[in-house]
A and B are shown apart, each in its own frame.
Chain A
Amino acid sequence: MYFKSLVMIVLIATCAQVNASEAEFTITPAVCVVQPGEVCRNGFIFRWRLPSPMKACIIRKSTQTTLYCSQPSINHQIELALELSKSETFLLQAHSYNKQQTVLVKSVVIEVRQAKRHIWSVF
């Protein structure tokens, strides 16, 4: 009985979480699945949210190449066509806010398999 109550309390507490809004930076898709030996050629959507309007730039970490710089804004989204031969990290630089995200390049069968059910699935 106490176990059930504990589970319910955890559920409610977790559900009630509210995202703290600092700078946010995401890249979609986060994983590029390729056939072994192939290069990932894909359009990637870079999205970010900043606490106040400011200019921001996306930098490819491995080559320190600036891929794109935005006009001052809070929310921004840009799609960039990229060719990745391996997993790469991208930096978002906006004044004192620095965020980074990594796009994983994975070879199907050799590195990863595609499951029928999501990792968080219960049914």
Chain B
Amino acid sequence: MTYLLKKLSHIVILLCLLSAFMVDANEQTDANGYLFNTNKWHLATAVGYGQYANPLNQGSDLDVYVLPDIRYFGERVSLDNLTLAYSLVELPKWVIELSTKQNLDGLYFPGKHRSAYAALNGVHPGRPWDLNNDSLNYQMPVSPTHRSLSYLAGMEVRYYGELNIQASFHQDISNVHHGFEALLNLTKSIQAPTYLVEFGVFLNLKSHQLSDYYYSPTSDDLLGVTPDYEAGSALNRGIILSYARPVTESLALVASYSYTQFGASIANSPLLRAHSKHNYFAGVKYVF
């Protein structure tokens, strides 16, 4: 039954995406769901079914049912789940801000409260009713071993236009790996009163220190064997497809799919079982 439901969810996502692309392009308008009222909390949750890949050896892909969405926008400060930002410049088409964010690579590894962090980040394995779990589920034997989570701070620039552009650079401030990551994200958004379609492509550069810390195997990972692989800097790249069909002002059918191709030095790590990963989620999202 579970297998059938998973297959059904695949078909639903595909149909939703196809139906979106078949809609008359002349219906396109700009409802602008990127705008949020200032000095207000914005709470939402998505409920449905999805699966997030854990690319590590012994790491289980996890089912996902609920994704919380907690945002606050002050006149300068903003919060988007675990991302805190301070706006330096905000113009009708441009935003430049200082921001901090959770690094997501550490969430794949065993460690305390990974499920809670994962659920709040919305893009990695997590089950919100499983927030007290100390680690993600791993099949025996437990390998890879623990890595610390890291928190990053840096700057982000966003441009809103026919093509939304997001570029950011964030450095480790948690004294974990002393590395950085840089992101370039291009998103084409087609918005109408009855649907939203977004197609995004991204490049995500992980520095040598960051890749080395998370993806170079240790002797513990290899059950005592001396490691002979060192991960260097890596350029991950991928796509994100999203579709939403608002049912009311507060409720929408939502479906998202993302594909990430790992950069060579991460993909070739003995810790990984795959060179890429697929995440998907389909369900309904309610905005409180």
Contacts and interface: CB of A to CB of B under 8 A. Distances in A.
Given A14-B247, A114-B35, A123-B122, A28 B29 contact: yes
Contact of B16 (A7, A15, A31): A15
Contacts of A114: 34-36, 90, 95, 158, 160
A110 B5 contact: no
A14 B243 CA distance: 13
User: How big is the B interface, by class?
Assistant: 35 or more
A29 B38 contact: no
A5 B5 contact: yes
A15 B256 contact: no
B36 A113 contact: yes
Residue from A17, A27, A113 having most chain B Cβ neighbours under 10 A:
A113
Interface in A9-45: 10-12, 14-15, 17, 19, 26-31, 33-35
A112 to B, nearest CB: 4
A111 B29 contact: no
Chain A contact-residue range equals 35 or more
Contacts of B252: 120
A8 B12 contact: yes
B73 A120 contact: no
Contact of B242 (A26, A30, A31, A121): A121
A30 B194 CA distance: 14
B49 A112 contact: no
Given A30-B32, A113-B78, A118-B34, A10 B26 contact: no
A115 B35 contact: yes
Looking at chain B's contact residues, is the secondary structure mostly helix, strand, loop, or mixed? strand
B222 interface: no
A1 to B, nearest CB: 6
A120 B49 contact: no
Interface stretch (B108-116, B205-213, B223-231, B280-288): B280-288
Given A15-B15, A28-B30, A123 B123 contact: yes
B80 interface: yes
Contacts of B27: 26, 47
A14 B245 contact: yes
A122 B284 contact: no
B8 interface: yes
A1 B284 CA distance: 17
A30 B192 CA distance: 10
Given A14-B245, A30-B32, A113-B78, A118 B281 contact: no
A118 B91 contact: no
B196 A118 contact: yes
B26 A47 contact: yes
Nearest to B30: A29
A82 interface: no
A102 to B, nearest CB: 12
Nearest to B20: A15
A49 to B, nearest CB: 9
A122 B5 contact: no
B33 A106 contact: no
B16 A115 contact: no
Contacts of B92: 33-35, 108
Contacts of A113: 35-36, 38, 73, 78, 87, 90
Contacts of B256: 121-123
23 contacts: A7-B284, A8-B8, A14-B247, A28-B28, A28-B29, A29-B32, A30-B29, A31-B35, A33-B32, A47-B29, A109-B87, A113-B73, A113-B90, A114-B36, A114-B158, A115-B78, A116-B83, A116-B158, A118-B189, A122-B67, A122-B69, A122-B242, A123-B123
